[in-house]
Structure 1
Amino acid sequence: MNALWWLALPILLLPVWWHRKKREQHKAEPLATSRFLPRTEPRQTREWSWQDLLLLLVRCLLLACAIAWLADPVMPSRGDTVIVAEGTDAQWAEREAAQAGLSKAERLSLPAGQAIAFLRTHQREWRPDARLLVLGDIPMPAMAPEFGRRIEVRTLARPFERAERHVHIASTRLEQWRRVFAGQGAVFDEAPGAKTSLIVWDRPDAPPASLRAPLWLVADTTAFPELKKAPQVGGLHYADSPRGRLWHAASWPPQTAEAARTLLEDWQRLHAGPPAYTMPARVFDATASVRAPEPSGALRGILMAVLVALFVLERILSHARRR
C-alpha cells in the first residue's frame, strides 16, 4: 500500500510551473523620447538567475523526499540469516544451523520475545532468495503469525531456573509464613536490605516511612489506607503505593500447605502473568494474502533527516530571494 505513493511523483512539475509563472516580467528600458519609434506591443521575457534554479532544485528534492518517506522504500540487502534468541545454547544453535545448511549464514541475536515480531516487521529487508532460520526458546504467540516469505523455526526450551527471592517477614507468626514460601527458593532476610524484593507485613502498626520494597504482602490493612478501596482480582486486592505494590488477601496467612500453595500460585500468576510456553518447531510458508507489514523504518530515519535539512535550506533560499 505504501508503494502507491510513488504515483504522486508528477507533483514535481508544480514547482517548475510555479517558478516559470513567477519569472514572467516586462522588461522596460528608459528612452529620451519614443516619438520616432514604431509602435510595438511589449514583449514578455523570462529571466532565470542562479538563485532561482537552486531554489527550484531544492523544492523538487523536498517533494521527492516527502514522497519517498511516505512510500517507505526498503533496500532488500540481507542474505541467508540465522536468528538466535539470546540465552540459547551456542553449540546447539551451531549444530542446527549446519544441519539446515546455513553454517556460513549471517548471525543475528535478538531477545526471544521479539524475534517473531522483528521478522514480521522487517521481512522486506531480506532478498527474495534469502533463507531464514530462527533458533532458541521462542515463546508461543497468541495467534499464528503470517509471513510473506518462508521462515523456519527450530526451538529448544531452556531449563527452568528458579529465581532466588529475598524475603523479609515482619510478623509474630514467623514460622507459619516461612512454610508458605517453602520450596520457592526464598532467602529470608533478618532485616530488609537492598536485595529484599518482598516484604511480608503482618503487624497492626505502620512500617517505617523509609522502608521500601518492590512487593508487599499485607495481612493487616490497618496501616495501609491504599488497600481500603483497592480493586480485587481472583480474591486478591492490590494497590500501588510509594512503598511498592501492595497485595492483600483475607485468608493470609494460609492455614494448610495446600491453601498456601494455591494462594501463592494465584498471587504469582496475577503479578507476573501467565508463564510463556515454547513454540513448537515448525516452518512458516509464504502467505500470498498476508497483510502488508508495518513500516520497517530502514530508510525512514535517513529520509526524515534529509527532509528537515532540505526544508531549512529552502527557507533560507526563499528569504535570500526576497531580499
Structure 2
Amino acid sequence: MTQMSAELAATFLAHARGHMGTPTESSALEGLLCRVWEDVRAQWPEVEMPAERFIRHLAERMPAAGAEERLATRLEQLSLSELYLACACVQGIGAATVAFDRHYLSRLPGMLGYLRQPAALIDDVCQLTRVKLLVHTPEGAPRLNDYTGRGSLLSWVRVTAVRIALRECGLEKPTPDEGVVEVLESLPAPGDVEMDLIRRHHHAEFRQAIREAFTVLTEEERHLLRLHVVDQLSMVELGALFRVNQSTVSRWLKSARQTVFNETRRRLQVRLGLSPRDFQSFLAAMDSQFELNISQILGEEDARARR
C-alpha cells in the first residue's frame, strides 16, 4: 500500500472514537479508505480538499457499532459523497459552497412551496437556512457540520428549513415528550414464533405493496406524510405550517394513511392468496412495520430526487 493509504488508516483509527465493530486488518482498512476517497472525489471533482481532512471528518461521525458489524457494511449505509461535500463546505472551500448552492439550496423554494406560506416568507426561510448551514459564528461551526451522512443530505437540508419556517411562524416548540405516548403505544407487542415467520417470509411482498400503494396518493399527501413520518413534525407544527387547525391535519393524515393501508391490503390479498384468517394474522404481524416502511420509502424518494 502507498504511504497515503497508511496515513488515511492511521487518521481514521485515531479519530473513530473506538467504534470500529469487527476488527479490520490494516491492509484491508487502507484499501477500503482509499476506495472511499476515490469514490467521493469522483462525485465532486471540482471540490479539492486534503484526503486526511475528510477521513478525519468521517471517522468522527461514525456511529457506534455492534461487536460483529463490519466497517465496510457501515460505510455502505452512509451517503459518503454528500458527507464529503458537507465537510468541504464547513472548511470554507469555495467550490463546495457553489456546488451546495446549486444542487441543494437552489431547490428549497420549490420543495417548500407546498407549505402554503407567503413567497416572501419562503425567501426569508431559504436565506436563513443558507446562513445557518454555511456560516461560522462565535458560538461554533456551521450547522452543516452536524450532518453525519446518515440519510439524504437534501432531506436533511429540508428539515432544517422547515424548522426555521416554524420559528418564523412564531410557533413555540413542542414539549420534549410530545408524542412519546403515541410512540410507546405503537410499539409491537411480543409476538409468537408463527407471527414472526409470517413477517419474515412476506416482508418483501409487504414492502413492495406499500411502494405501489403510494402511487395512488397525491403529491400533497406525500409531502404531508413525509413531514410527519420522516421529519417527525407534530400536529401543532403541521397546523402552523399549513395554516389549519390540528383536527384538519389529523383528518388529512388519517385519510392518507388509510388510503395507503387499504391499497396495500388489496394488493397483498390478491398477491399472496392467503385465506381471510391467515391474511388477518399477516396484517397483525405487519402492522408494526407499516410506519417504518413509509419512512424508508419516503427517504428513498429523497435519495432519487437528489440525483
- Measured against the shorter chain, the TM-score band is under 0.3
Q: Which has the higher contact order (CA 8 A, sep 6+)?
A: 1
Provide the TM-score with structure 2 as the length reference: 0.21
* TM-score, normalised relative to structure 1: 0.20
The structure with the greater share of residues assigned to strand is 1
Greater Rg by CA: 1
